[in-house]
Amino acid sequence: MTNETTNTAPANLQLGQATLQPGSPEEARLDRVPNPHADTDYLARFTAPEFTSLCPVTGQPDFAILVIDYVPDRWLVESKSLKLYLTSFRNHGAFHEDCTVAIAKRLTALLEPRYLRIGGFWYPRGGIPIDVFWQTGEPPKSVWLPDPGVPPYRAR
């Protein structure tokens, strides 16, 4: 937790420290920090334009643009830990649907947000792009939820 008097991050975060790249999503550690505006509904967006995983059948790389939107409650995801978690998929074999939904579920379990959605905009494999979308429910009515900004597949 944040030190209330000095407003500094906890010492056990990966932030500000040399951190090795985790070998797999299971090994990756996601950190959370207190939300200083827990009394306010707002949307935070993370975009990972170079997300990579491996096809579990062929071992060939798969590429996606991930857009993660969430309305935090008490917790924010610490962005360095999120980056390390997402890059841990580079050597991980899983189908597009599994990668996308697993990321969303892990973030939801960690953060307990008021709302979370993820869009996995995957580049074609075998000539077919596979886009995967998941959300926790309806967003709060007071939150502006912009378009993900990724066009439908037309040779993105």
Joined together, the tokens standing for residue 37 give 């505006």
Instruction: Output b/e per residue, 27-57; b: 16+ Cβ within 10 A.
Output: ebebbbbebeeeeebebeebebeebbbbeee
> What is the helix (H) or strand (E) element at residue 133, kind and residue range?
strand 131-135
Residues belonging to the active site: 55, 62
